[in-house]
Structure 1
């Protein structure tokens, strides 16, 4: 019985949510150790929350193809506990960061000149090629975008 409880607890445990700066995002985009799907979201954004299971399914199904999903929360730093509770409640297993750069206008153009600042927004990158999408995704459309990177 004890072992079963431990396994269940560990399987839903979320890694610590790291607070990062934009320079860290730039480093994530430059890595070429596989395909990175980086989703910008916030816990208060209903379309963002609705599509998160799509990204989690994709991460699970493509994990052996060197595809990783990274969520970057645009919630305020002071709301880190809310983000942690959200991640635990929704059992998010992908890496989650919270960006501490409140002056969005100073960095969103560096992510993509096409980004108006609206979320959800997603970047797919392999370190050499980068595509940006300011939209919500269903599984099929996200999977189709990933296939362009193979």
Structure 2
């Protein structure tokens, strides 16, 4: 009986120590401008994605692993392009189901032609896309990433 209480106590401790998943914060065009204008002291990995985009969803674990492995050296920002009307019904439940720990923003701006050039002039609007920023350097990729590719880009920036 004493062993059962110990196991229950251990499960309780482990369950309480895990971080709650993120909730998306709604941003507008000014929010994107602030993110794009920043010259961060740590590597920022900014990924544009949506819950309805299979390649986007497939690569999310790699971003989570990157954030977990690099801690304070890297800041992962996931910017959802889902409709703001789906914030509570789809986006936040998705984040909870997938235990997303990285910072999540939901862009509430209907005109892609206005925010795309702020991110990169070569972006054709397709997702997923990822932007790596460090100090005054940025690198834009219009592709899906795996963890090794993400890590390689981060390591390249950290060596500078």
The TM-score normalised by the length of structure 1 is 0.91
C-alpha separation in 2, matches of 1:111 and 1:15: 23
SS of match in other structure, 1:136: coil
Aligned equivalents of 2:105 and 2:83: distance in 1?
A: 12
Q: CA deviation at 1:9?
A: 4.8
Moved over 3 A (4+): 1-7
Looking at CA atoms only, which structure, 1 or 2, has the larger radius of gyration? 2
Asked if 2 retains the 8 angstrom alpha-carbon contact of 1:75 and 1:98, the reply is yes
- Going from structure 1 to structure 2, the CA distance change for 1:147 and 1:83 (only over 3 Å counts) comes to same
SS at match of 1:91: coil
Q: What is the total number of aligned residue pairs between the two structures?
A: 149
SS of the counterpart of 2:132? strand
Q: CA contact under 8 A between 2:56 and 2:127: conserved in structure 1?
A: yes
Distance 1:87 1:53 in 2: 12
**What is the Cα-based RMSD across aligned positions, in Å?**
1.7
- Among 110, 114, 123, the alignment partner of 1:106 is 114
C-alpha distance 103-9 of structure 1, shift in aligned 2 (>3 A): farther
Given the alignment of the two structures, is residue 87 of structure 1 paired with residue 95 of structure 2, yes or no?
A: yes
Match of 1:23 in 2: 30
State the alpha-carbon separation in 1 of the partners of residues 138 and 93 from structure 2. Answer: 31
Partners of 1:74 and 1:10 lie apart in 2 by 31
Provide structure 2 residue ranges, at least 5 long, that are not aligned to the other structure.
1-7
**Residue 52 in 1 paired to residue 60 in 2?**
yes
**CA shift at 1:141, angstroms?**
1.2
Higher helix share: 2
